[in-house]
Amino acid sequence: MKVTLDTAISLLLKGDLVALPTETVYGLAARVDCVQAIENIFKIKKRPSFDPLILHCYNKKQALNYFFKASILVHKLLDAFSPGPLTVVAKKQKHVSDLVTASKQTLAIRIPQHPIIRRVLQQLPVPLVAPSANLYGTVSPVTAQHVMQSFSQTLAILDGGPSEQGLESTIVYPDINKQKLYILRPGMITKQDLESFIKKEAPDLTLETQAPHSFQNAPGSSSSHYKSKAPLYILKTDHNKHKAQNFLLQKFPKHKHKELLLDASPQISARRLYAQMRDLSVGDKSLIFVYQNQNNSEGLWTAIWDRLHKAASGFYDIDNI
Ligand code: TXA
Ligand code: MG
Q: Is the pTM of this model over 0.95?
A: yes
In ligand 1, the atom with minimum distance to the C-alpha of 131 is 13
CA distance 108 to 33: 16
Please report the pLDDT score of residue 81 as a whole number: 98
Minimal-distance CA residue to ligand 1 atom 29: 107
Reading the chain (321 residues) residue by residue, the pLDDT tens digits are: 999 999 999 999 999 999 999 999 999 999 999 999 999 999 999 999 999 999 999 999 999 999 999 999 999 999 999 999 999 999 999 999 999 999 999 999 999 999 999 999 999 999 999 999 999 999 999 999 999 999 998 999 999 999 999 999 999 999 999 999 999 999 999 999 999 999 999 999 999 999 988 876 665 556 677 899 999 999 999 889 999 999 999 999 999 999 999 999 999 999 999 999 999 999 999 999 999 988 788 999 999 999 999 999 999 999 998
| Contact 165 CB / ligand 1 (< 6 Å) | no
CA distance 163 to 24: 6
In ligand 1, the atom with minimum distance to the C-alpha of 133 is 6
The four Cα atoms 258, 221, 137, 130 give a dihedral, to 10 degrees, of -120
The four Cα atoms 23, 227, 1, 142 give a dihedral, to 10 degrees, of 20
Burial class (CB in 10 A: 0-12, 13-18, 19+), 309: middle
Please report the pLDDT score of residue 218 as a whole number: 61
Ligand 1 pocket test: pick from 45, 82, 87, 93 the residue with the most ligand atoms within 8 Å of its Cβ: 87
Burial class (CB in 10 A: 0-12, 13-18, 19+), 293: middle
Please report the pLDDT score of residue 225 as a whole number: 79
Q: Give 26 Cα–ligand 1 centroid separation in angstroms.
A: 13
